[in-house]
Amino acid sequence: MSVPLVKIKTRFCSVTPLCLHGADKNQAELRLPSIKGALRYWYRAACPDFSEKTDSGITKEELLFGGTRGKAGQSAFLMRLAKKEDIKIVRDQYNRKCFSGIKFELEFLLRPNLGNDIKPDWRGLLTSIWLLGHLGGLGSKSRKGYGTIALESWSAEESEEIQRLINDFSIAHEAKSSRELEEIQAIMDDFPIAHEAESFEEWEEKLRTGWENIVEEGYLSEKPEHTVLNNNSSLYIREEKKVKEAGEKREVKDTKDALGNGLALIKQFRSENQKEGMIFGAPLRMRGESIIPKDYNRLPSLIWLRAFQVGNQYYSAFLFLTAPFPELQTEIRKGKGKKNKVYKNYPVNQNDAVRLFKAKLKANNYRRICGHE
């Protein structure tokens, strides 16, 4: 007996300008490979056993997302860009074309588990979708707040249309999708959508519920090998009511203000604390020298600037994920060519730097709403 497959329907909107491009860098383009790559990033960040091998010899990540190694093959789901709306193109500070306020729908078709006793990690997939739509972003400068997207809605249903196509090619599978549909819907209940909230208090509660349901099952290591969301991670958001009470003339009305507030704070922190400011990324180039990672070309920012929308109000926020921090060194240039460069160690204490920036956030009316102090 064959039954319909499960389809997950999601709807996203961009909160800040989304700078995503294909081969033509002069044209903004929503690219499914980029979205899938972002989902894979959040899957690794939230699912501690992603690299655990299954009985078939491939990892849980490869079983879910596919891969090129050995027997990995195709992913356990298909993605489809179902709809795009409110397409408005703007230019960012680098004169690149970006989407502004775009809404788009993504569909995830869960493949039948044909002859395979190992079930893909559907909870991990839903976790990565939720994280992308609540904490993540797409495109360039996403750690500086650009490309922030919000998950507006999601639902799961059985796809009769796809099943009819499968029947045309005489491909049958066991009657498992009804059970999988119930399982998917139960998992969704663990992750409420914050964007649906009608008040900041409701938004905060929904976000914290999803966060805690992920972290309680997540990484316990204090020194992970890659960026993770765990008990040492946290989210700080700017209290607009407190800012207004403190005498600021107006509330933040749009994303430009929200990002501007956060970027100004980063710039001020880096100018006051050069060493500790390296948590916002390297290389840092100055006249005659650069501060660079010892074994890498670059170090991405350990702290993500975000802009959240609750109703018609926008909020500036900072996301602290738990990530490895490489050794840094100063590259001193004494002339042209590699032979005229001298390298010296540049020690930075990651934990002290993070604590110092959190203290600055608190002094500027930010407070922790999720995670570790």
190-210 tens-digit pLDDT: 999 999 899 999 999 999 999
Query: For residue 220, what pLDDT is reported?
Result: 55
Cα-based distances in Å from 266 to 19, 190, 261, 363 = 21, 34, 9, 14
Give the largest Cα separation in the chain, rounded: 75
Residue 4 is predicted with a pLDDT of 45
Asked if residues 306 and 259 have their Cβ atoms less than 8 Å apart, the reply is: no
State residue 97 phi and psi, 5-degree precision: -75, 135
Statement to judge: residues 71 and 193 lie in one domain: yes
User: Do 35 and 156 share a domain, yes or no?
Assistant: yes
pLDDT band at residue 171 under the 50/70/90 scheme: very low
Residue bearing the bigger pLDDT, 68 or 102: 102
- Report the distance separating Cα 80 and Cα 64, nearest Å: 16
| Structural domain ending residue among the three candidates 215, 250, 268 | 215
**Would the pLDDT of 166 be above 60?**
no
| Shared-domain flag, residues 201 and 256 | no
Helices within 273-349 (DSSP H only): none
Task: Specify the amino acid at residue 146.
Answer: Y
More reliable by pLDDT, 300 or 5? 300
Q: Residue 154 belongs to a domain with what CATH number?
A: 3.30.70.1900
CA distance 190 to 207: 11
Which pLDDT value is given to residue 37? Answer: 94
- Burial (CB count within 10 angstroms: exposed 0-12, middle 13-18, buried 19+), residue 168: exposed
Asked whether 150 and 309 are in contact (CB, 8 A), the reply is: yes
Mean pLDDT, the chain, integer: 82
Report the distance separating Cα 254 and Cα 87, nearest Å: 18
Contact between residue 208 and residue 369 where contact means Cβ atoms under 8 Å apart: yes
pLDDT tens by residue, 257-286: 888 889 999 999 999 998 899 889 888 887
Sign of CA dihedral 252, 257, 258, 260: negative
Question: Which of these ranges, 31-45, 129-143, 158-172, has the smallest mean pLDDT?
Answer: 158-172
Instruction: Tell me what pLDDT residue 311 has.
Output: 85
* Final residue before a domain boundary, out of 156, 187, 215: 215
pLDDT digits (tens, 9 = 90+) for 288-300: 788 878 887 778 8
Residue 307 lies in a domain: yes
Contact predicate 361/316, CB 8 Å: no
Mean pLDDT of 23-43: 88
CB contact at 8 A, 85 and 92: no
* Nearest by Cα to 213 from 9, 11, 39, 46: 46
Euclidean distance between the first and the last CA atom of the chain, given in angstroms as a whole number = 53
Higher per-residue confidence, 85 vs 315: 315
Q: What is the pLDDT of residues 328-357, one digit of tens each?
A: 888 887 766 656 677 788 888 888 999 999
Residues in the chain: 373
pLDDT at residue 275, as a whole number: 86
Residue 307: give the domain boundaries: 234-371
Q: How confident is the model at residue 2 (pLDDT cuts 50, 70, 90)?
A: very low
d(CA 254, CA 256): 5
The answer to whether the beta carbons of residues 46 and 218 sit under 8 Å apart is yes
Query: What's the domain count of the chain?
Result: 2
Question: 41 is written with which tokens?
Answer: 């990033």
User: Within this chain, do residues 361 and 281 fall inside the same structural domain, yes or no?
Assistant: yes
Domain boundary among 169, 185, 215: 215
Residues 111-134, mean pLDDT to the nearest whole number: 82
- What does 209-266 look like in DSSP terms, one character per residue? HHHHHHHTTSB--SS-SS-B-BTT-EEEEE-HHHHHHTT-SS---SHHHHHHHHHHHH
Helix H or strand E segment including 128: helix 122-132
- Please report the beta strands in 102-182, taking only residues with DSSP state E, as ranges in sequence order: 103-110, 149-159
> What is the arithmetic mean of pLDDT over 30-40?
93
**Same domain for 32 and 117:** yes
In a domain, 182, yes or no: yes
**What confidence category does residue 149 fall into, taking pLDDT thresholds of 50, 70 and 90?**
very high
